[in-house]
Amino acid sequence: MAIILFDNQNRKGLFPFTLTRALADLRFGVFTIKERWEQLSGQTVYVATVPYLQGLYPALPSGDHVWVDASVITSGSLLDTVLSLTSGCCLADEHGLIAGRTDQLLKTSDNNLLAAFKNIADQATVQRLEHPWQLMQWNDRMIREDIALLIKDRISQPLPATVQAVQPENIFIEEGARLSHCILNAATGPMYIARDAEIMEGSVVRGPFVLGEGAVLKMNSRVYGATTLGPFCMGGGEIKNTVMMGYSNKAHDGYLGDSVVGEWCNFGAGSTNSNIKNTAGEVKIWDMGAESYVGVGQKCGVIMGDYSRAAINAAINTGSMIGVSCNVFGAGLLPTIIPNFAWGVDGTRYEPRKVQEDINNWKWLKGRQLSDSEIAVLQHIFAHY
């Protein structure tokens, strides 16, 4: 038996991030959703998504497996219930299937997935991801839960003598991490410094905080919780309550706050986002899936899809939605809606051949290159979105 995390039609609510990946690959806290299920369950986890994305993932196995809505937030009690399901039984709520065990290969685009099960149990208390900004709104909780899971019964590497720490018992450092002459305040939340990550001199960090494998926090950075800098990210300047999923750079002075940033993004020197309106009123942000504005609370910075970049001194407006593979530049305060493959802000589209060339230039800097499957995904998005 394996666990299969599936995307349903609600995945559109998490655009632009689910344009380029299955929902199971969204990262917040320490883990992606898939990694979190693997850590909690000890089971092999597969991903079922829409056809144009399925090529990014291993083929689904045949047999009797547990299918789980990838948008459902995992908890210990839910996990126990899910893993104890017998064949033909499922959990559901008013939104549909939560999890079910079956030997059928489900068509996840089907609006009536419950038809595959003979016994349906009500499980009305689950929480689901519905919007991309929830990744930063819920990041505090997920960092705390993930770190507790990850470090259980493990011993941290010692804190270097040059590091000043408040409540150092709340700081976990993996082998190979490098820290020098920085200040870490873990009184406000735990910190996890992953293998081969680095915090350079003069940086000041408040928890909860995650620095992923190979990620770097540059000199004199100021970071507030709850912030996750995913694998091979680079942080600098001032960062607050932000998720950077992986391989992205905000390396220079400027502010990034209350934001979610995908993979392979870059912020030029001096680029800054606003995270609160001058009126301090409710921020409304463009929902790419529903094609309408949604109120998200008093604070929201920028949502930036994979492969997008902001030019030096970019002035990013409150509640900005930036799509996939955008080259963002323009005079003054930038528009709050920047569609996929935008070149500047005047409606010009980023030419596909140039898109691939420029992404590979960025990937080369971190020892990577676009795969054929990733190129096919970009081509699909360019043609259909």
Domains of the chain with bracketed CATH: 3-122 (no CATH), 134-384 (2.160.10.10)
Tell me how far apart the alpha carbons of residues 239 and 256 are, in angstroms, rounded to a whole number: 5
- pLDDT at 113 (0 to 100): 87
Query: What b-and-e string marks burial along 5-16, b requiring 16 or more CB atoms within 10 Å of the CB?
Result: bbbbebbbbbbb
Q: Is 144 helix (H, G, I), strand (E, B) or coil?
A: helix
Cis check for the bond before 187: say yes or no (omega within 30 of 0): no
List the 337-338 sheet strands across, edge first. Answer: 171-173, 191-193, 209-211, 227-229, 243-246, 260-263, 302-304, 320-322, 337-338
Structure tokens at 36: 């979190």
**Burial code of 114-134, b = ≥16 C-beta within 10 A, e = fewer?**
eebbeeeeebeebebbebbbb
CA distance 300 to 309: 19
Query: Given this model, what pLDDT does residue 10 score?
Result: 84
pLDDT at 306: 98
Distance from C-alpha of 210 to C-alpha of 187, rounded to nearest angstrom: 15
Provide, for the chain, the percentages of residues in helix, strand and coil under a 3-state DSSP scheme, each rounded to the nearest 5: 25, 30, 50
Number of helices (H) and strands (E) in the chain: give both, helices first: 8, 33
Each residue's pLDDT tens digit in the chain (385 positions)?
899 999 988 899 999 999 999 999 999 999 999 999 999 999 899 999 999 999 999 999 999 999 999 999 987 788 999 999 999 999 999 889 999 999 989 888 777 889 889 998 888 788 999 999 999 999 999 999 999 999 999 999 999 999 999 999 999 999 999 999 999 999 999 999 999 999 999 999 999 999 999 999 999 999 999 999 999 999 999 999 999 999 999 999 999 999 999 999 999 999 999 999 999 999 999 999 999 999 999 999 999 999 999 999 999 999 999 999 999 999 999 999 999 999 999 999 999 999 999 999 999 999 999 999 999 999 999 999 9
What pTM did the predictor assign? 0.96
Burial of 248 (0-12, 13-18, 19+ CB in 10 A): buried
Kindly state the DSSP code that residue 256 receives in the 8-state scheme.
E
Q: Token digits for 267? A: 């912020």
What is the model's pLDDT at position 107?
84
Both tokens of 61, joined, read 């196995």
The pLDDT of residue 51: 95
Burial 308-321 (b: 16+ CB within 10 A, else e): bbbbeebbbbbbbb
- Alpha-helix residue ranges (DSSP H) falling in 117-204: 134-137, 139-151
pLDDT at 9 (0 to 100): 81
The amino acid sitting at 82 is V
Report the run of H or E that residue 206 belongs to, with start and end.
Answer: strand 204-206
- pLDDT score at 247: 98
CB 191 within 8 A of CB 209: yes
Question: Residue 32: CB partners within 8 Å, gap ≥ 6?
Answer: 24, 25, 26
